[in-house]
Amino acid sequence: MTQPISTPLLRVYMQIFKAVTAALPINWPKEFRGTGSTEQLLQHIVSSGNPKVLLVSDQNLLDVGVVQPIQTKLQELGCETKLFSEITPDPPMQQIEHGVNTLHEFGAVAVLAVGGGSVIDAAKLIAARALNTKPVQKMTGLFKVTKGTLPLYVIPTTAGTGSEVTIAAVVSDTQAQRKLAVIDHRLMPSAMALDANIMLGLPPAITAATGMDALTHAVEAYISRNATSTTSEQSLTAAQAILSNLPAAFENGKDTEARQAMAEASMFAGKAFTIAGVGYVHAIAHNLGARYHIPHGLANAMVMPYVLSASISHCSKRLAELARTCGVSDDKDDMKAGLAFIDHISELNHTFNIPLKIEQLKREDIPAIAKAARQEARFTYAVPRYFSQQEMCSLLELMLP
């Protein structure tokens, strides 16, 4: 199989991208960690001088009773709050506009997200739209949130996206069946709480899918050619913690220790991919999500073994290091250890009842998905090897039911 002609050019561009990323003035958020850290964050919000806060969440989190105690506590601390709970998974752009209108009507001076990646990303964009007059559509791409955001606080309720420490927000263009990313260091939240107590009611299937999203971040950041020594360490820490704790959190949702370890692992993986980027697993998963509404983590989990198998000739050493650090294999042969790591991911998927094939995938959609995934990865992800259109189509064909 031949490499596409543009690969050397892409490599040079990605080197420049790496230098630009390293120079970004990233302000990592203030961290409150551990059971009970939610209350510490709420006190911090109030003591930072935020009298009126827009609380962004979703209906499901209201139904399961996660949001109300947080709102009540904020009010007890003397903060006026307004709840905006219209966010749905993979939020469409219109929800951001509704959120901004609610924010202005209420006069909020800060935004608090209580939710998974969908809520956090929507909250990031609401906080950005509050200061930037242009619509979200015009902020997609790199560094267009020129006026920054209102102070943004985050309490993740899933351990997966790492969005509490990323400079990205993903939004859906439902008409074009595309997921679009707004990427800007000014989207970084001011502070966040990683509190296992908030995650105890997360159902097993969502626990597994979101945890596999975090694993994908760790792995894709580790095999990225833009990995640094810091991101590599963060990826290894995250991958090791996920492989040891995700099965326990899946088995027993009330296992506070496993939940806390997952929350922190997801954060480390988020930090790693903020600098090193992700790769083709995400590029394909975003398109499967936009086209077939497959949840983000689930799509990543299904796609990951295929992409890693097709890339291993260019990243066996890195996959072998992951395998050895995580105790999956101590084989000295990189290829054998790397393959053992991929097998382990497939076994985890099996344990979590995550299908081997993608039921929704249609043969006639493959060329368009391949094109869009390649376009997303080009000039954005420093993948171990770039696939041609034909290689990408062949890869997707393996995933057909």
Ligand X SMILES: NC(=O)c1ccc[n+]([C@@H]2O[C@H](COP(=O)([O-])OP(=O)(O)OC[C@H]3O[C@@H](n4cnc5c(N)ncnc54)[C@H](O)[C@@H]3O)[C@@H](O)[C@H]2O)c1
Residue ranges in 303-362 that form contacts with ligand X under rule CB under 6 A: none
Residue 6: φ, ψ to 5°: -80, 0
- What mask of x and - would describe binding to ligand X in positions 93 to 132, judged by CB under 6 A? ----------------------xxxxx-x-----------
240 binds ligand X (CB under 6 A): no
- What mask of x and - would describe binding to Fe ion in positions 244 to 283, judged by CB under 5 A? ----------------------------------------
Please say which residue, 99 or 117, places its beta carbon nearer to ligand X.
117
The residue whose two tokens read 């962004």 is: 56
DSSP reduced 3-state for 112:
strand
Of 161, 235, 240, 311, the one binding ligand X (CB under 6 A) is 161
User: Which residues have a Cβ under 8 Å from the Cβ of 49 and sit 6 or more positions away?
Assistant: none
- What mask of x and - would describe binding to Fe ion in positions 191 to 230, judged by CB under 5 A? ----------------------x-----------------
Strand 110-115 and strand 152-156: the pairing is parallel
Query: Around Cβ 229, how many Cβ atoms within 10 Å?
Result: 7
Distance CA 318, CA 154 (A): 32
Distance CA 192, CA 326 (A): 28
CB of 196 to ligand X, least distance (A): 10
Contact criterion met (CB below 8 Å) for 179 and 172: yes
Please say which residue, 274 or 311, places its beta carbon nearer to Fe ion.
274
Stretch that binds ligand X, among 14-22, 137-145, 154-162, 315-323 (CB under 6 A): 154-162
Residue ranges in 29-68 that form contacts with ligand X under rule CB under 6 A: 58, 60-61, 64, 66
164 binds Fe ion (CB under 5 A): no
Type of residue found at 56: V
CB of 217 to ligand X, least distance (A): 7
Q: Which does 279 bind (CB under 5 to 8 A by kind): ligand X, Fe ion, none?
A: none
Stretch that binds ligand X, among 165-173, 240-248, 256-264, 350-358 (CB under 6 A): 165-173
90 binds Fe ion (CB under 5 A): no
Q: Any idea what DSSP says for residue 388?
A: P
Distance CA 54, CA 163 (A): 18
Distance CA 286, CA 299 (A): 8
Of 71, 149, 157, 260, the one binding ligand X (CB under 6 A) is 157
Q: Which does 349 bind (CB under 5 to 8 A by kind): Fe ion, ligand X, none?
A: none
Residue ranges in 252-311 that form contacts with ligand X under rule CB under 6 A: 296-297
Please say which residue, 205 or 335, places its beta carbon nearer to ligand X.
205
For the record, the structure tokens of 139 come out as: 């902020």
Q: Which does 160 bind (CB under 5 to 8 A by kind): ligand X, Fe ion, none?
A: ligand X
170 binds ligand X (CB under 6 A): yes
Burial 340-376 (b: 16+ CB within 10 A, else e): bbbebbbebbeebebeeebeebeeebbeebbebbbeb
Distance CA 3, CA 291 (A): 28
CB of 329 to ligand X, least distance (A): 28
211 binds ligand X (CB under 6 A): no
> Sign of the CA dihedral 391, 356, 226, 323?
negative
202 binds ligand X (CB under 6 A): yes
Quick one: the chain helix, strand, coil %, rounded to 5?
60, 10, 30
Residue ranges in 175-194 that form contacts with ligand X under rule CB under 6 A: 179
Identify the burial level of 27 via C-beta atoms within 10 angstroms of its C-beta, where 0-12 means exposed, 13-18 middle and 19 or more buried: exposed
CB of 93 to ligand X, least distance (A): 12
Please say which residue, 88 or 394, places its beta carbon nearer to ligand X.
88
Secondary structure element (H or E) that encloses residue 182, with its range = strand 178-183
Distance CA 133, CA 76 (A): 33
Burial 115-149 (b: 16+ CB within 10 A, else e): bbbbbbbbbbbbbbbbebeeebeebbeeebbeebb
Stretch that binds ligand X, among 159-167, 340-348, 381-389, 391-399 (CB under 6 A): 159-167
Distance CA 134, CA 105 (A): 18
Which residues make up the interface to ligand X (CB under 6 A)?
58, 60-61, 64, 66, 89-90, 115-119, 121, 157-158, 160-161, 163, 166, 168-170, 179, 198-199, 201-202, 206, 210, 213, 296-297
Which residues sit at the interface with Fe ion, rule CB under 5 A? 213
